Structure 1
């Protein structure tokens, strides 16, 4: 198996509309850290598979269609995943999906192509190892203040083989946490938590070792109850915790992901999700009542309660009346013994945890489309932001997980 990595910068001019927060005070006005597109390719001698991550809020289907079509001209099956930074450009992120602004459709297509071509050019013989463990103190259920701050962390180590021996060429980390440390008031462009983790890993792994961080199923997981601030120092603190845990896992016994003679395969299925009905996700969702709840939270002086109350109100205001079903794609791949699932939009973590297969498994969110939040069926009984703003009917997330499991079983 030959594996390559490529990277390309994604500049964001000052004055660019930013995605992620409804109450952003204005367009971008400076740079905290640069955005990028990172790509990894796997080539078994016949078939080439590529995973690209872009520091943007979401990947709409029009963008996914264009970059995937262009990658086919390179003989490559491509998945494009958003890291979901809320401090990058607005790329048309609306509940249920929408069009990508024309300028960003062109710019992203170009940058993704550059990163993928660089990865192909850098391919060399590599083995892969998979490790998985618990990460404490970084992410937790953002709607449940008392929930334990524990999430699964997946680390794929890529070992380059040559006449000189074997070395770690790079790592792929799947982090199922909303990368939202910086506040809505910030107008500085940043890859937020994902970018900080990349930097921390590269610093710890040393020169010549690449690091790619993909956002997992983070629909209900964030740093809301674990962060101590919302600035660059807090980004570094949390990123250091993630990077240190990755290094701990790299010292533990691995599962074999792929080896020299391994093969690559992939499959996809299109599903049609029913829209949420008038009463679904509307428990205690009267706007006037939510306004009173926000005022009570503000009077309490509890910043977490204020943020949660404001989120509920934002959910009701942001949700549109949608009568049409939403078409989505579920993607799966096999890279040797490693099973990979790419889900669109923002699935809840429990959705990813239900996708199992023989051997190591990694599940990515925000891949090749944006239907919005994908809560578990159980979550629809709670009037929380993710449910209130969701455009799909209860059971949709479980349908996607079931399709992923079946695709992996059939491969």
Structure 2
């Protein structure tokens, strides 16, 4: 009798530790004209394609983790903190177990207060934010997370990589060595696509995560139609073929543009070409991923890097928690380990691709993926070489030239845990 009870107890423990997952897709397309974020201030005149929260819930039996990709350009870390406080109150989920990332489309509405962007582009934010839309987006995200929690079911997980040439370096250089936003086919670029596929035990898909570096700037500032730009359009394309949500997790895009960039409107750009350049690559690689891992073990963590603030920058009051009295920027770096062979690390940055590629090359973890625009936005972080070269990105950074090396060191320390 005692042996039977022990066997039943062991079976119960094994079942409770079984990896479970769920995915939810929530429409956040506004129904009223909105100020679009990215480029100069402009209001939307209609909708080209809808915007979504895409939410994945993971549960290894002891840790629940939620990963969100939203068709928005960016938001302030203070807005993320406010969201996390509400989420904690309503669900008990701790902030370390929720990553809220964005695709960085430049054809989506502003979301909440301007944050650090006001320090660089003060005249861009003379209007009030649409607080009703911001509240709606937060409420829909919390509801989506709660729904995903209720749908958790047995799952398995596969990891792999492929490549796509849908992106290009954007730091164009003229004959005098001056750097400007453009296209630079000779510049560094990260073509890797990191993939995590989550399936049910029968092999049917629950969700696909695709990690790729590409600005959401196929459309220019003249476009006034709401759109997920190439990241959102590719995600929709893959979902139609896959039959499950695809989270586009933008990577280190600080110096990376889409191969076709800043077209005035949808009539002048064949944006569906990205479905072939990137979407078909993702679909093929997803089908070819190695055998699924089971069981799955999750471990979430954070390191806060303190690095000097660029002299002369007026720090926004709403971000007081992200600056020390000694004028050190408090830069939160997040980590998610998935078993021994996979790690995601994330920061609220537009990071230059060379830094992320260097971390990946030195990482002790086989599959190391960087997720940018995570949990807010604290500006660009260029390489040390980029600062004397100049260019747009070096003017909209709160950091000093030494920050890139400091971030890489902090990331490698966190990945080594």
Q: 1:405 aligns with which of 383, 393, 412?
A: 412
Which residue is 1:151 aligned to? 191
Mapped to 2, the partners of 1:95 and 1:267 lie a distance apart of 25
Alpha-carbon separation, structure 2, partners of 1:357 and 1:50: 24
Residues 180-211 of structure 1 deviation map (CA, whole Å, 9 limit, x = unaligned): 11110111111111110111102222x3x221
Q: Aligned with 1:5: secondary structure?
A: strand
Task: Tell me which residue corresponds to 1:364.
Answer: 371
CA contact (8 A) 1:7 1:118 kept: no
User: Who is 1:186 aligned against?
Assistant: 223
Query: Counterpart of 1:270?
Result: 304
Identify the residue that residue 333 of structure 2 maps to in structure 1: 330
The Cα of 1:249 is off from its aligned counterpart by 1.6
User: Displacement, 1:97?
Assistant: 7.2
Kindly state the Cα deviation for residue 104 of structure 1 after the two structures are TM-superposed.
4.6
Unaligned runs of 5+ in 1: 280-322
In 2, Cα distance between the equivalents of 1:262 and 1:215?
24
Shift of 1:278: 6.5
Gap change, CA 1:228 and 1:272, over 3 Å in 2: closer
SS in 2 for 1:147: coil
SS at match of 2:354: helix
Question: Residue 175 of structure 2 aligns with which residue?
Answer: none
Shift in CA distance, 135/230, structure 1 to aligned 2, threshold 3 Å: farther
Verify: 1:43 aligned to 2:59, yes or no: yes
Question: 1:85 and 1:227, CA in 2 relative to 1: closer, same or farther beyond 3 A?
Answer: closer
Residue 103 (structure 2) aligns with: 83
Q: CA deviation at 1:252?
A: 3.6
- Equivalent position to 1:160, from 200, 204, 216: 200
Partners of 1:239 and 1:231 lie apart in 2 by 18
Q: CA deviation at 1:96?
A: 5.8
Q: Equivalences for 1:45-84 in 2 at 5 Å?
A: 45-72=61-88, 73-76=90-93, 77-84=97-104
Contact 1:58–1:93 under 8 Å retained in 2:
no
RMSD: 2.5
Per-residue Cα deviation, 1:194-234 (whole angstroms, up to 9, x for no partner): 110111102222x3x221111111111012x5459554452
Q: Which of 88-97 and 365-374 deviates more?
A: 88-97
Q: Is 2:73–2:105's contact at 8 Å kept on the other side of the alignment?
A: yes
Question: Counterparts of 2:303 and 2:237 in 1: how far apart (Å)?
Answer: 36
User: Which of the numbers 348, 373, 388 marks the counterpart of 2:352?
Assistant: 348
1:236 maps to what in 2?
A: 272
Distance 2:105 2:332 in 1: 22
Cα distance in 1 between the residues matched to 2:262 and 2:399: 34
Deviation, structure 1 residue 247: 2.2
Q: When the two structures are aligned, how many residues end up with a matched partner?
A: 356
